[in-house]
Structure 1
Amino acid sequence: MALLPIPGTHRFWVSQQSPDQRHRYRFEQPLHSNQGRAIKMSRILKYLSTSPIANTGSVARDHLANERTFLSWTRTGLGFVALGVALAKLEALEALSPTLKHNHGDLKLPSAALVGSGTGCLSYGTIRYFRSLKLLQKGLFRPNVAGIGLVALTSGAVAGGGIYLVISQETKR
């Protein structure tokens, strides 16, 4: 029995006959723990990958615009989340510096609303991207009326809440 390595791979040939004969059986070496993880990741990436699409007409432009729209939704959602986290950490900053002492009231509800709105934007943007991807592959397109209304309503509520906080703080002084 002869073990014949295959150059540049983790494989080898097992031959029960002499090395000069052609009849050989190929076996793989046992997988190491990291190789098993790499195989699982490649299966996940294979599931997430899409097949290439012929670039006829404006197909590539449409798909790239869909990606840019997804990134805009992500940026908007992360902006809301960041504002909510900053608002929540404002109380911690006030505890460190006595010169920043102002009575802002309870900021947990507005910061939770901002983080929730940001998470909603991220979720909606992701769902919208994959729905638009399927529609574009069929040659169709659906305008985004609900998402635009949702962001306009949320932004208006945040602006209104901010104006209310500023006015209420001014009247207390």
Structure 2
Amino acid sequence: MKGLTAPLGLSLVLENKGNVARDHLASERTYLAYVRTSLATASAGVALVQLFSLSSSKSLTKFAKPLGATIILFSLIILVFGVFRYFVTQSSLVRGYFPVARKSIAAVAFVLGTLTGIVFGVLVAGTR
């Protein structure tokens, strides 16, 4: 039964020996975590635009759309990366390997931290 694929090649059926099912289900949960992070980031971008647009400060209003668009674009990058990571992990698990994601997690954390710092800086500068 190992290696059976659907006619379109979109699904894979593996024999459940050892940790096969657990590993593949963990990979799916990780993909869903990327989707959740992407949705939360996109929601934060939309909320940021709305927050800055409601502000009476002109300096905050001019940063609203570019900063919100940047955050939403980054949320799309997180989603694409999650899809890519899911398929790489699935193909690696079939071959008996597991790819470790050290650099990518550090990159996502760095960019989210940088964007958070920029938003904080704009908010602090706008209150003066």
Give the alignment's TM-score, normalised by structure 2.
Answer: 0.84
Instruction: Work out which of the residue numbers 53, 56, 77 in structure 2 matches 1:101.
Output: 56
Structure ranking higher on relative contact order (CA contacts 8 Å, 6+ apart): 2
SS at match of 1:142: coil
Determine which structure has the larger helix proportion and give its number. Answer: 2
Task: Give structure 1 stretches of 5+ with no counterpart.
Answer: 1-44, 95-99
1:68-83 equivalences in 2 (<5 Å): 68-83=29-44
Q: Could you say if the C-alpha distance between residues 48 and 118 of structure 1 is closer, same or farther in structure 2, counting changes exceeding 3 Å?
A: farther
The aligned runs of 1:22-101 (5 Å cut-off) are 46-47=7-8, 49-90=10-51, 94=54, 101=56
Separation of aligned partners in 2, 1:48 and 1:165: 49
Q: Number of residues paired by the alignment?
A: 121
Partner of 1:21: none
TM-score (normalised: structure 1): 0.63
Q: Structure 1 residue 84: deviation in Å?
A: 1.3
Q: Distance in 1 between matches of 2:41 and 2:9?
A: 28
Q: Spell out, residue by residue over 1:43-95, the C-alpha distance to the aligned partner (whole angstroms, 9 max, x if none).
A: xx952642321111111111011001000011111111111122233466x3x
SS of 1:47's equivalent in the other structure is: coil
One-letter amino acid matched to 2:93:
L
The structure whose residues are more often strand, as a share, is 1
Unpaired runs of 5+ residues, structure 2, are 1-5
1:48 to 1:109, Cα distance in 2 relative to 1, 3 A: farther
**CA separation of 1:166 and 1:91: change in aligned 2, threshold 3 A:** closer
- What stretches of structure 1 move > 4 A for 4+ residues in a row? none
Match for 1:130: what amino acid? F
Alpha-carbon RMSD across the aligned residues, in angstroms, is 1.9
**Identity value in percent:** 30
Specify the structure having the higher radius of gyration (Cα). Answer: 1
